[in-house]
Amino acid sequence: MTTESTNTSKNAEQEVNEVEVNTADVEVTTESDVEQVEEVAVLSAEEQKIIELEQALAEAKATVANQKDSVIRAKAEVDNMRRRAAQDVDKAKKFALEKFAGEMLSVVDNLERGLATIDSEAEEQKATFEGMNLTLQGLLSGLEKFGVKAVDPQDKPFNPELHQAMSMQEVEGVEPNTVIAVMQKGYELNGRLVRPAMVMVSKAKA
């Protein structure tokens, strides 16, 4: 074998070895790429799971907020119902005696009219006067305990919400629109007018 043939054979073997080395490099590179792709796939799955969990958490928070609002509204409604019920009960207690008080006022009126006809200075009528007066005062005291109070506007400004004007008259030295006489006292029950006072009112000069 000649020297030239020997060199040619060595060059061919070297080229084959280089090809094998390049092939190995290709294989190594391919395995590395596969690992990277798998790692990216794992990361993408984890990120997707995180996104799903965040969405579920947001939905849960929204549900809790809605339920909290519902509970607050329900509590407010219950409180309002309790308050209205308490007010109704209070009104029922205060004004349950309204009709009864109205009936008793006629008794008060009769006793006052009877006393007006008795001469308290006359010896023979003194005992009758004292007895009727004690009865009247006891009745008024009992009515007052249950919230019934007299409206006696003598010499006070006329108030159409509490008084009923029966007539008007010019009176010297008296301001117009002043109550100059009370024909029948009015009464209130716990601040509510049961009966207006019947009065005579002064008026300005023509």
Is residue 162 a contact partner of residue 194, using CB atoms and an 8 Å limit?
no
Q: Is the pLDDT of residue 198 over 90?
A: yes
- Bridge partners (DSSP) of residue 179 are 201
pLDDT band at 178 (very low <50, low <70, confident <90, very high): very high
- Name residue 112's amino acid: E
pLDDT of the residue at 40: 55
By CB atoms closer than 10 A (0-12, 13-18, 19+), residue 20 is exposed
pLDDT of the residue at 29: 45
**Helix/strand/coil for 199:** strand
Is residue 153 a contact partner of residue 163, using CB atoms and an 8 Å limit?
yes
pTM above 0.85, yes or no: no
pLDDT of the residue at 38: 54
How confident is the model over 57-75, as pLDDT tens digits?
A: 888 888 887 788 888 888 8
CA atoms within 13 A of residue 156's CA, in its CB half-sphere: 11
Q: Is the pLDDT of residue 16 over 50?
A: no
